[in-house]
Amino acid sequence: MVDPANTVGIPVNPTPLLKDELDIVIPTIRNLDFLEMWRPFLQPYHLIIVQDGDPTKKIHVPEGYDYELYNRNDVNRILGPKASCISFKDSACRCFGYMVSKKKYVFTIDDDCFVAKDPSGKAVNALEQHIKNLLCPSTPLFFNTLYDPYREGADFVRGYPFSLREGVSTAVSHGLWLNIPDYDAPTQLVKPKERNTRYVDAVMTIPKGTLFPMCGMNLAFDRDLIGPAMYFGLMGDGQPIGRYDDMWAGWCIKVICDHLGLGVKTGLPYIYHSKASNPFVNLKKEYKGIFWQEDIIPFFQNVKLSKEATSVQQCYIELSKMVKEKLSPLDPYFDKLADAMVTWIEAWDELNPPAAATVNGKA
Ligand SMILES: O=c1ccn([C@@H]2O[C@H](COP(=O)(O)OP(=O)(O)O[C@H]3O[C@@H](CO)[C@H](O)[C@H]3O)[C@@H](O)[C@H]2O)c(=O)[nH]1
Ligand SMILES: [Mn+2]
C-alpha cells in the first residue's frame, strides 16, 4: 500500500514559481486540515476556498495561509440571478472560484488529496509539476513516443517533423492519483479494495481529436487561454446528475482547445487520494451520466466549431447552441444546461471584463 509522503520538516518553498500569478481553488464541505501537509508547497500561494453546502458552517483554514472564502450566500450576492448556473451540493461549485480569480493560472485540488511519494520516497510537489507542464509547450498534432520531449533527458524521436517541434501553448495540466483512483461507481462497487499503486513517470499530450475523462481533483489550467470554458455544469442539488461536473468541462475544453490549437496534458503530478466516496451514493448521482454519455461522446466527437469562433467565449456560446439543438432531445436537462452555459459566460464576462478597448491609444 502506497502511503502519503511525510512533509514535516520540509521548509516552505523559498522560490515559489508564479507565486503572484496563480490561485489555488478548493471546493469544500469539510475542514481544511489537509493543507497542513501541503504547507511547504502551497503556503506561499493565494487560496480561493469555495464552501459548499450549509453557509453557516465555519470552515477552519490552517494558520499562515492567505485566502478568500466564498459560501453560497456570497455566490448569490456576487452573481445575483446568474448564481443559478453555479451548482450547489456538488464539487462542481469549484468553478465559481475560477470565475472570481484574477490570476493567469489556477490549480484546483480536493480536500481529501494529500502529498504523494514518488518511487524514491520523495514528497511530490504537485503544484510545481503542474506549473512545469503549463509553461512547457504541448504536442497535440503528432505523438512523441518518448512522451514529453521538453523534459530534461528526453527529446523528439527520429521521424518527428521538425516543423512541429515548436509545439503549441498548453492550456490544461491533468494530474493523477495514487491510492483511491477516480473510478465510476460501478467499477468502485466491483473493485472496492482496488488501489492505484502504480506511479508512471510520464507526462503526455492528449492528441488533437481525442477526448478524455477529465478529473477535477488534481487539475491546473491557464485561465487566460481556456478559463471561460472551465464551467463544471449543473450538478448536485435539484439536478438529475452528479459527478459529471469535471467530465462535462473536460469534453468542452478539449473540443475548444483542439479548435484553438491549444494543448492538454495528462500524467505527472500524482497526489495521494485518501477518501473513497460512497459507491452507492455515487451510483445514484452518476447513473444517468453513464447512460447519457453513450450519446454525449459522439456529440462531442462530431462538434465542428466555426472559423469565426476565435475566442473561448465565442466557441463556448457556439457549443451551447449545439448542446441545446442536439442533446436536448436526449433529456430536457440539456436544454437547461445549454442555457446555464450562456449564463456562465455572461457571469464570467461581467466579473472578468475584457481589457478595455483602447480608442486612439486611450483606454
Ligand atoms: O457536495 C459536495 C461534495 C464534495 N465537495 C467537495 O468536493 C471535493 C470532492 O469530494 P469527494 O472527495 O468527497 O468526492 P470524490 O468522489 O472523491 O470526488 C471526485 O469525484 C468527482 C465528482 O465530482 C470530483 O471531481 C472528484 O474530485 C472535496 O473537496 C469535497 O469537500 C463539495 O464541495 N460539495
Ligand atoms: Mn475524494
DSSP code per residue over 163-184 = GGTT-B-EEEEEEEEEES----
pLDDT band at 359 (very low <50, low <70, confident <90, very high): low
Question: What cell was used for 319?
Answer: 457549443
3 pLDDT above the threshold of 90:
no
Q: Are 34 and 111 in contact (CB under 8 A)?
A: yes
Single-letter amino acid, residue 253: I
- The residue nearest atom 8 of ligand 1, judged by CA position, is 110
Check residues 143 and 4 and name the one with the higher pLDDT: 143
CA–CA gap between residue 265 and residue 204 (Å, rounded) = 5
Phi and psi at residue 228, to the nearest 5°: -65, -15
Q: List the residue whose alpha carbon is closest to atom 26 of ligand 1.
A: 217
What is each CA distance from 72 to 96, 144, 352, in whole angstroms? 10, 45, 20
d(CA 228, CA 6): 37
Query: Mean pLDDT of all residues in the chain?
Result: 96
8 A C-beta contact, residue 265 and residue 203: yes
- Grid look-up 460501478 returns 186
Tell whether the model's pLDDT for residue 361 goes beyond 60. no
Residue 180 CA: nearest ligand 1 atom is 17
Supply the pLDDT for residue 355: 75
**For the residues of 4-54, what is the DSSP string, one character each?**
----TTPPP-SS-TTTTTEEEEEEESS--THHHHHHHHHTTSEEEEEE-S-
Q: Is 351 a residue whose pLDDT tops 60?
A: yes
Q: What is the pLDDT of residues 108-140, one digit of tens each?
A: 999 999 999 999 999 999 999 999 999 999 999
pTM over 0.90: yes
Task: State in Å, rounded, how far the first CA of the chain is from the last one.
Answer: 58
Q: How far apart, in whole angstroms, are the C-alpha atoms of residue 41 and residue 10?
A: 9
Mean per-residue pLDDT, 281-301: 97
Peptide bond into 269 cis (omega under 30): yes
**For 296-317, how does the pLDDT look when each residue is reduced to its tens digit (9 = 90+)?**
999 999 999 999 999 999 999 9
Residue 97 has pLDDT above 60, yes or no: yes
Which residue bears the cell 492550456? Answer: 171
Give Cβ neighbours of residue 143 (< 8 Å, ≥ 6 apart).
Answer: 204, 205, 207
Is the pLDDT confidence value at 2 over 70?
no
Q: Is the CB of 243 under 6 A from ligand 1?
A: yes
Please indicate whether residue 46, judged by its CB atom, sits closer than 6 Å to ligand 1: no
As a whole number of angstroms, the distance between CA 14 and CA 141 comes to: 37
**Residue 74's pLDDT band (cuts 50, 70, 90):** very high
Q: Which residues are bridge partners to 62 per DSSP?
A: none
Question: Which ligand is the nearest neighbour of the Cα of 247?
Answer: 1
pLDDT category at 1 given cuts 50, 70, 90 is low
**Alpha-carbon distances, residue 110 vs 65, 220, 261, 282 (angstroms):** 16, 12, 29, 16
Which ligand 1 atom lies nearest to the CA of residue 276? 17
Report residue 10 as a C-alpha cell: 520540509
Q: Is the pLDDT of residue 12 over 80?
A: yes
Q: Using the mean position of ligand 2's atoms as its centre, give its distance from the Cα of residue 200 in Å.
A: 21
Predicted confidence at residue 124, as pLDDT, reads 98
Distance CA 101, CA 66 (A): 14
Report the alpha-carbon distance of residue 209 to residue 2 in Å, rounded: 35
Residue ranges of domains in the chain: 22-351
pLDDT in tens, 247-265: 999 999 999 999 999 999 9
- Cα–Cα distances (Å) from 269 to 106, 163, 177, 234, in that order, read 15, 29, 8, 28
C-alpha cell at 224: 487566460
| Ligand 1 pocket member 275 (CB < 6 A) | yes
φ, ψ (nearest 5 deg) of residue 24:
-110, 120
pLDDT digits (tens, 9 = 90+) for 214-234: 999 999 999 999 999 999 999
Q: What is the pLDDT of residue 4?
A: 85
- 192: pLDDT strictly greater than 60: yes
Q: Does domain 22-351 have CATH number 2.60.40?
A: no
Banded model confidence at residue 277, pLDDT cuts 50, 70, 90: confident
* Mean pLDDT lowest among 95-104, 160-169, 178-187, 354-363: 354-363
Cell of 233: 455544469
Q: Please report the pLDDT score of residue 55 as a whole number.
A: 96
Residue 344 burial (C-beta neighbours within 10 Å; 0-12, 13-18, 19+): buried
Does 358 score more than 80 pLDDT? no
CA of 361 to the centre of ligand 1 (A): 47
% the chain with pLDDT above 70:
97
